[in-house]
Amino acid sequence: MWTFGRKVAAGFAVCFVLLLGIGAEAYRSLHSLARTSYLVAHTHVVIEHINGVVSSLTEVENGLRGFIVTGDDIYLEPYQGADKAAASLLRELRELIGDNPAQQKRLDSLEPLITARLEAMKKTIDLRRNGGIAAAVEGARGGEGRKATDRIRQIAGQMEQEERDLLKRRADEVESASSGGTLAIVVGTVFCLLFISATGFYLTRSLNTQIGSAVQHIQSSSAELQSAATQQATGAKESSTSMTEITTTISELLATSRQIAESARRVTGVAEQTTEAARSGEGTLQAANTSFAGIRRQTDLIVNHMLELGKKSQQIGSVLDIVLELAEQTNILSINASIEAAGAGESGKRFGVVADEIRKLADRVSGSAKEIRGLIDDVRGAVNTTVMATETGSKAVDAGVKQFDDVASAFRRIAGLVTTTTDAAREIELSTKQQTTAVEQVNIAIANTAQATRETEASSGQVLQTASQLAVLSKDLLRLVKSQSAA
Amino acid sequence: MDNRNSGLLLLCRVQTLFCALPLAHVLETMRLLPIDPLPGTPAFLPGIALIRGLPTPVIDMASLLDVDGGSATRLVLLKVDARQVALMVDEVAGIRAIADHALQDLPPLFDDSGAAFVSAIGNLDASLLVVLQGTRLVPHELWTQLDAARSSA
């Protein structure tokens, strides 16, 4: 679809072409008229030259007659220089009719006649002066001069007629050119006016349809723009509020980042101290491990001694069994001795007393041996308990050594991890510093953004105002277009 | 016991019970010896032990006195008429002379109770003391049975 501007340009182009054609035709007609006018004037000059030649010849003849009659030279004035004047006129005439061969041919036949006539006049003048009037009259008798003059006039008349015919043809040409130019101008002007009217009507209608719809679109768009500008203003206001909150939050974040950086620095210090402590703890663990090995050796010695003690106790028990056996046997023997002594009557009484004492001794030995056995059992129990406890302790020591190895390994791992932690804490410290810098930059950027948001808010107000003005303008334009269409 | 006033008694302990034997009937004391059981004998007669070449009936005093949980370690060899008998006791405490006033007869209530081998009762250091009559420890028919078994062996 053609745009309105394109249509206007096309209309102007057609008008331009039409006006160009009308102008060209008018120019051509005027040029033709001017050329024809020039040729008419040229023809008039030629006719004037022809008539001048004829009239000059007539005037010379009239002077010659006066001179013949009176013999006065005053009548010869026209004749004086007539030949030169005739030659000049004939030369100019030849130049003027240079484009017409027929006239050239006539001039070729006219020019000797004039020369001969002037020669004849010179002879007549000489006769008048030398022979008097009679000789002169006698010389003119016969009418030769008259005939020559008539012949000259005839040819001059033919030439003049030729020129007049040319004048007539050129008048026709002027008429034709004038009527053609007039027709072209009138018809072209009328057509141009009709085309301009049609184009104007079409463009007006197109203006009404396209620009009207466009203006309506502009009106609706301006309303939407107004609404959008209102929303944008509201959004910009909310954004401004949010930016303020963000600025506050970023400031808090900045403070927190600085605190984190400080904490990370402290963590780095603590991690370094922890690394040192872990290394020190590892050394302490190695010393403790050495102590544990000593404890283990001592425990083994204790176990060996206790086992030896158990063996000795067992040997004591064996001896004690013998003692108990002896005591028991002694007890039985003493009782039997007492029985025998009682059977012996008075004589065995003292023996009975001795036997009873022996029995008591045997009982005491038996009691003591039993006590010793109890003590030995206690000692053996204690030894067993001690051995078991010592073995348990030895196992505990082994477990402790293993655990200490594990703890030492754990300390080494802790030292390694703490080293890693130290590196990580340093990286955290560095990163937090960078983060702090970044947050400061973000803070600046947020401040700039807040400023931009405030400017956007102001711009939104301006856009809203512009949209309102645009809506008013679109209404005015629509009213203008509709009033034009109504008109 | 034939003579309660002889004074000297052999004290033996069966569990917590002390029993006294007249020393005139006691031949000797010894450790517990291996005992060969005899069929058809009462519970208090676990068998026969070979003591000094003679098969001797052995009486379990704990079973005889109906005391539970005895752990006999000694044998007391008694002379009963022409025979000898061994008593299983836990301990031989010694020889003691006990005054007659410390002893008393068995109450008549026990006359038909089968405890004819108890000649007297008393106390010894706050413990019951039973004075046994050695000749009645083994009933006569049991001697006959033992003699028949010995002769058949």
For A22-41, the pLDDT digits (tens) are: 888 888 888 888 888 888 88
Look at residue B2 in the predicted model and tell me its pLDDT. Answer: 39
For B28, which of A336, A352, A359 is closest by C-beta distance?
A336
Rounded to two decimals, the ipTM of the complex is 0.84
Decide which of B145 and A176 is more confident.
A176
Q: Which residue of A has its CA nearest to B8?
A: A342
Q: Is the pLDDT of residue A3 over 90?
A: no
Mean pLDDT of A74-100: 85
Q: Are A457 and A236 in contact (CB under 8 A)?
A: yes
Look at residue A459 in the predicted model and tell me its pLDDT. Answer: 82
Q: Are A429 and A265 in contact (CB under 8 A)?
A: yes
User: Is A332 in Cβ contact with B30 (below 8 Å)?
Assistant: yes
- How far apart (Å, rounded) are the C-alpha atoms in residues A407 and A288? 11
Look at residue B5 in the predicted model and tell me its pLDDT. Answer: 41
Look at residue A247 in the predicted model and tell me its pLDDT. Answer: 80
Q: Is the pLDDT of residue A142 over 80?
A: no
Decide which of A139 and B36 is more confident.
B36
- How far apart (Å, rounded) are the C-alpha atoms in residues B153 and B147? 10
Q: Which chain B residues are Cβ-neighbours of A356 within 8 angstroms?
A: 94-95
- How far apart (Å, rounded) are the C-alpha atoms in residues A188 and A17? 11
Look at residue A1 in the predicted model and tell me its pLDDT. Answer: 67
Mean pLDDT of A134-158: 84
Look at residue B77 in the predicted model and tell me its pLDDT. Answer: 94
Query: A481-485 contacts: CB < 8 A, separation 24 or more?
Result: A481/A207, A481/A208, A481/A211, A481/A212, A481/A215, A482/A208, A482/A212, A484/A204, A484/A207, A484/A208, A485/A204, A485/A205, A485/A208, A485/A212
Task: Calculate how close chain A gets to B45, using CA atoms only, in Å.
Answer: 24
Question: What's the pLDDT band for A487 if we cut at 50, 70, 90?
Answer: very low
User: Is A352 in Cβ contact with B74 (below 8 Å)?
Assistant: no
Q: Is the pLDDT of residue A120 over 80?
A: yes
How big is chain A by its Cα radius of gyration, in Å?
81
Share of chain A above pLDDT 90, in %: 5
- How far apart (Å, rounded) are the C-alpha atoms in residues A185 and A206? 30
User: Is A339 in Cβ contact with B10 (below 8 Å)?
Assistant: yes
Q: Which residue of A has its CA nearest to B10?
A: A339
> A376 — phi, psi (to 5°)?
-65, -40
User: Is B30 in Cβ contact with A339 (below 8 Å)?
Assistant: no
Look at residue B31 in the predicted model and tell me its pLDDT. Answer: 92
Look at residue A482 in the predicted model and tell me its pLDDT. Answer: 66
Q: Which chain A residues are Cβ-neighbours of B92 within 8 angstroms?
A: 331-332, 335
DSSP B23: G
Task: Calculate how close chain B gets to A404, using CA atoms only, in Å.
Answer: 57
Least confident of A84-88, A411-415, B63-67, B105-109: B105-109
> B112 — phi, psi (to 5°)?
-100, 20
Look at residue B150 in the predicted model and tell me its pLDDT. Answer: 67
Task: Calculate how close chain A gets to B29, using CA atoms only, in Å.
Answer: 6
Q: Are A95 and A107 in contact (CB under 8 A)?
A: no
Q: What residues in chain B have their Cβ under 8 A from chain A's Cβ atoms? A: 8, 10, 23-24, 26-31, 74, 92, 94-95
Question: What's the pLDDT band for A176 if we cut at 50, 70, 90?
Answer: confident
pLDDT in tens, A248-294: 888 888 888 888 878 888 888 888 888 788 778 778 878 887 888 88
In whole angstroms, how far apart are CA B64 and each of A50, A120, B69, B77, B145? 215, 234, 13, 16, 18
User: What homologous superfamily does CATH list for A233-486?
Assistant: Methyl-accepting chemotaxis protein (1.10.287.950)
Task: Calculate how close chain A gets to B101, using CA atoms only, in Å.
Answer: 22
Segment (H or E) for B57: strand B54-60
pTM: 0.43
For A332, which of B8, B31, B95 is closest by C-beta distance?
B31
B6-152 domain in CATH 2.40.50.180?
A: yes
pLDDT in tens, A343-381: 888 888 888 888 888 988 988 888 888 888 888 888 888
DSSP A160: H
Beta strands (DSSP E) in A210-281 are none
Residue ranges covered by each domain of chain A = 4-211, 233-486
User: Is A339 in Cβ contact with B27 (below 8 Å)?
Assistant: yes
Nearest in space to B29 (alpha carbons), one of B83, B87, B71, B97:
B87
Mean pLDDT, chain A, whole residue set = 84
For A338, which of B30, B74, B95 is closest by C-beta distance?
B95
Look at residue B30 in the predicted model and tell me its pLDDT. Answer: 94
Look at residue B153 in the predicted model and tell me its pLDDT. Answer: 59
Q: Which residues contact B142 (CB under 8 A, 6 or more apart)?
A: B41, B42, B45
Q: Are A68 and A137 in contact (CB under 8 A)?
A: yes
Nearest in space to A359 (alpha carbons), one of B73, B70, B125, B10:
B10
Decide which of B106 and A391 is more confident.
A391
Q: Which residues contact A171 (CB under 8 A, 6 or more apart)?
A: A40
Look at residue B3 in the predicted model and tell me its pLDDT. Answer: 38
User: Is A342 in Cβ contact with B29 (below 8 Å)?
Assistant: no
Task: Calculate how close chain B gets to A365, using CA atoms only, in Å.
Answer: 15
> Which residue stretches of chain B have pLDDT < 50?
1-6
Task: Calculate how close chain B gets to A331, using CA atoms only, in Å.
Answer: 9
Mean pLDDT of A172-200: 87
Q: What residues in chain A have their Cβ under 8 A from chain B's Cβ atoms? A: 328, 331-332, 335-336, 338-339, 342-343, 352, 356, 359
